[in-house]
Chains A and B, each alone.
Chain A
Amino acid sequence: MGKNLPVPTFDGTAWASAPRLRDATVAIVTSAAIHRAHDDRFSAGDTGYRMIPSDARDLVMGHWSPNFDHTGFQIDLNVVFPIDRLHELAADKVIGRVAPRHYSFAGNQPDDVSTIRLDSGPAVAAELKRDGVDVVLLTPV
């Protein structure tokens, strides 16, 4: 699946070495367009992002595509946004700590994804740096 999707290409692959996992601060960034129930909804073609505090569970899925399963998320949000799993890993000292803030984008983007590449993506990276995040898990939809 995905063979014929138009995708942007990159000349190189950036590389940042992670600290040991048991010392790392871990955040989730998802393209499932999830957001808190009272937050602004994602519009069709939304190139922005929503912040999700680590303790928020009032999450809904704002993705506009009818072409994938939304029900897994309704059954268990961890199948898209594994926040409870991260807290369990932190409690077991497998990871250092769970980041205080996580981020959500909409996966259905304009083909050149230039806003995410140049604006909203770097803005989120700066927020993650501010929170001392070492590792980001990216979950797609």
Chain B
Amino acid sequence: MSVLAHVIEAAGISTVVLASMRPVVEKMRPPRSLYCEFPLGRPLGIPGDAEFQHRVLTEAFSLLDTTADHGPIIRDFDEVVESDEQPVACALPPRFDPNLPACVDEARGLRNAYDRAVAKRGHTDVGRAVDADTIPEVLAAFHRIASGDDWKTVAIPGKNTVAVMHDIRAYYEEAALELVGTAGARSLEAWFFEATEAGKTTLAARQAIKDGGGPFPFWFYMAPGHR
């Protein structure tokens, strides 16, 4: 972002950066930054709170109202928004077909909620590597890897593990938001990796690929770095 601030300002257009990492703007020195201590991924702070978002914008635009003729100017927004690391309380489907791996059964059980979410929003973030119909097949492949099959011999639909994980998480998170309405930053991540069968299975598959000598980019970015 700070690079673009330099580039755009050099073209003669005033810029304001909503900065999420203070040391980065201190080093990169874009013309005007409002440092906002908010969860990464939520630069305006709170989804669904127009009043709060307007306060952020008012503070950001106030940096333009200055007699200063040079930057950098860095100001701190006066309110902190914390991430919520606790798994959101979201119901999971009961076991339906005991012959299927639990993660596959679970993903199928969430399908109605996912479909309602897509109908409401009009579009979906699922689809980078696979569509919603293929999510259970991907989880079945990860279940095989987690259960001891050599990762090199298991065909993973969508092939790119990072892209496939994006789709699995988007499928689960969109379904969960339909069920719980809203969620703090990272609470659905915590729910996915700590409460769902899909999350546990994908972490186990990731570990198995790592232990089986899989290349770093193939397994590491399947989950956030701290997991």
A71 to B46, CA, bound (A): 11
A91 located at the interface, meaning its Cβ lies under 8 Å from any Cβ of chain B in the complex = no
B1 and A79 contact, CB distance less than 8 A? no
B156 located at the interface, meaning its Cβ lies under 8 Å from any Cβ of chain A in the complex = no
A79 and B71 contact, CB distance less than 8 A? no
B135 located at the interface, meaning its Cβ lies under 8 Å from any Cβ of chain A in the complex = no
Chain A's interface: helix, strand, loop or mixed, by majority?
Answer: loop
- Which residues, 3 to 30 on A, are CB-close (under 8 Å) to B? 3, 5, 7-10, 13-18, 21, 24, 29
A84 to B48, CA, bound (A): 11
B7 and A116 contact, CB distance less than 8 A? yes
- B179 to chain A: closest CB distance in Å? 13
- Which residues, 16 to 73 on B, are CB-close (under 8 Å) to A? 16-24, 27-31, 39-48, 50, 53-54, 57, 60-61, 64-65, 69-72
Closest to B58 in A: A94
Q: Give the contacting residue for A17; candidates B40, B43, B69, B188; CB below 8 A.
A: B69
Contacts of A5 in B (CB 8 A): 21, 23-24
Closest to B19 in A: A140
A116 and B11 contact, CB distance less than 8 A? no
Q: Give the contacting residue for A21; candidates B27, B64, B183; CB below 8 A.
A: B64
A9 to B14, CA, bound (A): 20
18 A-B pairs with CB atoms under 8 Å apart are A3-B23, A10-B6, A13-B9, A13-B70, A15-B9, A18-B14, A24-B64, A66-B222, A69-B39, A69-B41, A72-B42, A85-B44, A85-B57, A117-B3, A117-B6, A138-B5, A139-B43, A140-B19
